């Protein structure tokens, strides 16, 4: 369906931007049953919803502007973050440029005096964040008496971020006859309650698919040892070589750590978190847009509103807290019909939880191995051959240089120089810890140096998801030994036994004492102690030899807060 029902100035702007036909959400807001009504819209990020609510209110705004010269805004768009508000403002500016509609952006971190001056001079559309809009409202700089439209963009995120009180104060100050358009990727109960309170006879529109979270995103998941998370991220970046990628961490500390590690390895990366100023955030986003940086390491909130056309890879470095966050993060790619890839890096102990979250999000993710150095080098060779076989446009001067090189160098030497030049500055892939001791219940191995061993005990077992693949690096970190200094590992229902050579026993015990924090919720709170006796075979079932029921599960590494901090 073309945009023939829209005002000509709006249709022309859409045509210049390459819009031949509406996306599903845009077609839904233009449908006859949606005209003149409040709308409650479920739409994924990247589905064209900014243009959707722009065209939904275009005709009324242009008609009202033609018959009025008032200074009060006709439409108010509220977004959860500065980046999203600025992105929405840019979209509306080109959409309404031919109609000379004035748009003012009011966001935290910008000059509030300039914003108040712009509001005082008169504007038709105001785009802002809840806190700054409330501030202008309370100071008398924002007059909402003539408002025709209120748009709440990503309303679920605004409630998650604690903006309910700000939203309620703003909405209470708007005229009762205004139209309210509420856009949200998900519809939890608080959003439904907000809609019932501030909307009248709202039309429910959903363009979210029933079988998958996002049709243009290829979801993948890789299971790794907790100690190998960072190395897995490096290999994923090298394997995909995306034009632009975003890496999600849970905290600003983890963003800072991973960003520094990437820079150290030679990646062109920027960071976004709550500790960065607005100027720093703007510079980081501009670096991504103009290609000076290819990787952005960010927290969830800081990445809201990022819209970079070349962004084709999202890596969940730390597991999202729920299905909604998974969708919001992944939605940074696969936008406006483009294809994207979202990869979850999953510590072995958390795989079951992630599988449940994927089901909740209706996402079909493919579990794949972390790319090996060999696979990455194979891809590098394919990319090199593809790049070199592309047709090129060369000037006479370039051709003269090429002929001069052929006169002085053999073809094989020229090819070698090209290969080396291509590899220069490219970070090397990482070797990951191999999954060891797959048969956790096997008898102790006969290995060199393990004729005289000491047994140790951990107070976690199969019921706490203990697995040799993450126990091994945990013991190396806690005991300051290498993987070759750990012998057999035997995992029981609620405890795990392992052996180390007598020669390193004293050093191992001293390190365990220094790294133990009793009661801690991370791996430092796991009890690891010397066992005077080797493990005894225990009967299968829910009770140990003493007939006591097993202790309640404490979770892998006693943490539910994501993977532990790891060294680069």
CB 91 within 8 A of CB 49: no
Residue whose pair of structure tokens reads 């609620």 in the numeric block: 494
CB 323 within 8 A of CB 44: no
pLDDT at 447: 53
pLDDT at 450: 66
Q: Phi first, then psi: what are they for 501, rounded to 5°?
A: -65, 145
Q: Phi first, then psi: what are they for 25, rounded to 5°?
A: -70, -35
* pLDDT tens digit sequence for 447-458: 555 668 899 999
CB 246 within 8 A of CB 398: no
* pLDDT tens digit sequence for 143-193: 999 999 999 998 887 887 788 899 999 999 999 899 999 988 777 788 888
Task: DSSP for 10-47, please give it.
Answer: HHHHHHHTT--S--HHHHHHHSGGGTTS-EEEE--TTS
The gap between the terminal CA atoms of the chain, to the nearest Å, is 53
DSSP annotation of 484 reads: G
What are the pLDDT tens digits along the chain (568 aa)? 467 788 899 999 998 888 888 888 899 998 989 888 999 998 766 678 899 999 999 988 888 766 555 678 999 999 988 888 988 999 999 999 999 999 999 998 788 999 999 999 999 999 999 999 999 999 999 999 999 999 999 888 788 778 889 999 999 999 989 999 998 877 778 888 888 999 998 999 987 654 344 557 899 999 988 878 999 999 999 999 999 999 999 998 999 999 999 998 899 999 998 888 878 888 888 899 888 999 999 998 766 667 787 889 999 999 998 887 888 888 888 765 578 899 999 988 788 889 999 988 888 999 999 999 999 999 998 888 888 787 878 888 888 888 888 889 888 888 888 888 777 778 888 887 654 333 333 333 445 556 688 999 999 988 888 888 788 888 988 988 888 788 888 988 889 999 998 888 988 998 899 889 888 888 888 999 999 888 875 444 333 333 333 333 333 333 333 333 333 3
Rounded CA gap, 539 and 308, in Å?
58
Rounded CA gap, 314 and 296, in Å?
10
CB 438 within 8 A of CB 467: no
Q: Going from the N-terminus, what domains does the chain have, and what CATH number goes with each?
A: 8-206 (3.40.50.300), 217-374 (3.40.50.300), 382-416 (no CATH), 453-558 (3.30.70.330)
- Can you give the length of the chain in residues? 568
pLDDT at 555: 36
pLDDT at 210: 42
Whole-prediction pTM: 0.56
> Long-range contacts of range 132-139, CB-CB < 8 Å, 24 or more positions apart?
132/106, 132/107, 132/108, 133/76, 133/78, 133/106, 133/166, 133/170, 134/166, 134/169, 134/170, 136/106, 136/112, 137/169, 137/170, 137/173
């Amino acid at each position: 369906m073309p945009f023939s029902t829209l005002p000509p100035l709006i249709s022309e702007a859409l045509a210049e931007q390459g819009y031949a036909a509406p996306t599903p959400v845009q077609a839904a807001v233009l449908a006859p049953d949606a005209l003149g009504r409040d709308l409650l819209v479920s739409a994924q990020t990247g589905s064209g919803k900014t243009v959707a609510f722009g065209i939904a209110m275009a005709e009324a705004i242009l008609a009202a502007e033609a018959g009025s010269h008032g200074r009060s805004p006709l439409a108010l768009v509220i977004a959860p973050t500065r980046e999203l508000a600025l992105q929405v403002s840019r979209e509306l500016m080109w959409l309404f440029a031919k109609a000379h509609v004035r748009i003012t952006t009011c966001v935290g971190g910008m000059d509030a005096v300039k914003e108040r001056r712009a509001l005082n001079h008169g504007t038709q559309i105001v785009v802002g964040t809840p806190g700054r809009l409330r501030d202008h409202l309370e100071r008398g700089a924002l007059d909402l008496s003539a408002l025709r439209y209120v748009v709440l963009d990503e309303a679920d995120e605004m409630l998650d971020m604690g903006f309910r009180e700000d939203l309620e104060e703003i909405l209470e100050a708007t005229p009762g006859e205004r139209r309210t358009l509420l856009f949200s990727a998900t519809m939890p109960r608080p959003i439904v309650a907000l809609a019932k309170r501030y909307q009248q006879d709202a039309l429910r529109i959903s363009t979210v698919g029933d079988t998958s979270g996002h049709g243009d995103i290829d979801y993948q998941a890789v299971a790794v040892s907790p100690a190998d998370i960072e190395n897995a991220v490096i290999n994923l970046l090298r394997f995909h070589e995306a034009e632009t990628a975003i890496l999600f961490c849970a905290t600003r500390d983890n963003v800072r750590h991973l960003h520094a590690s990437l820079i150290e390895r030679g990646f062109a990366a920027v960071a976004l978190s709550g500790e960065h100023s607005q100027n720093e955030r703007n510079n980081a986003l501009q670096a991504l847009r103009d290609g000076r940086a290819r990787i952005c390491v960010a927290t969830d909130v800081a990445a809201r509103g990022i819209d970079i056309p070349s962004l084709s890879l999202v890596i969940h470095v730390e597991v999202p807290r729920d299905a909604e966050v998974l969708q919001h993060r992944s939605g940074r790619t696969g936008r406006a019909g483009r294809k994207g890839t979202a990869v979850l890096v999953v510590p072995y102990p958390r795989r079951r939880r992630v599988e449940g979250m994927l089901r909740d999000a209706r996402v079909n993710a493919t579990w794949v191995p972390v790319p090996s150095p060999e696979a990455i080098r194979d891809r590098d060779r394919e990319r090199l051959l593809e790049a070199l076989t592309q047709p090129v446009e060369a000037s006479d001067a370039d051709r003269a240089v090429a002929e001069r090189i052929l006169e002085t160098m053999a073809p094989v030497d020229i090819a070698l120089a090209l290969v080396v030049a291509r590899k220069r500055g490219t970070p090397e892939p990482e070797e990951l810890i191999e999954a060891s001791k797959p048969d956790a219940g096997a008898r102790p191995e006969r290995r060199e140096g393990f004729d005289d061993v000491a047994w140790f005990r951990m107070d976690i077992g199969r019921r706490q998801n203990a697995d040799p693949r993450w126990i091994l690096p945990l013991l190396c970190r806690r005991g300051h030994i290498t993987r070759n200094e750990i012998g057999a590992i035997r995992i029981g229902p609620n405890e795990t036994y392992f052996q180390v050579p007598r020669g390193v026993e004293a050093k191992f015990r001293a390190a365990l004492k220094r790294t133990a924090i009793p009661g801690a919720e991370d791996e430092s709170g796991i009890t690891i102690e010397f066992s005077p006796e080797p493990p005894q075979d225990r009967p299968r079932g829910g009770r140990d030899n003493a007939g006591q029921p097993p202790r309640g599960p404490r979770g892998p590494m006693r943490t539910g807060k994501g993977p532990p901090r790891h060294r680069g």
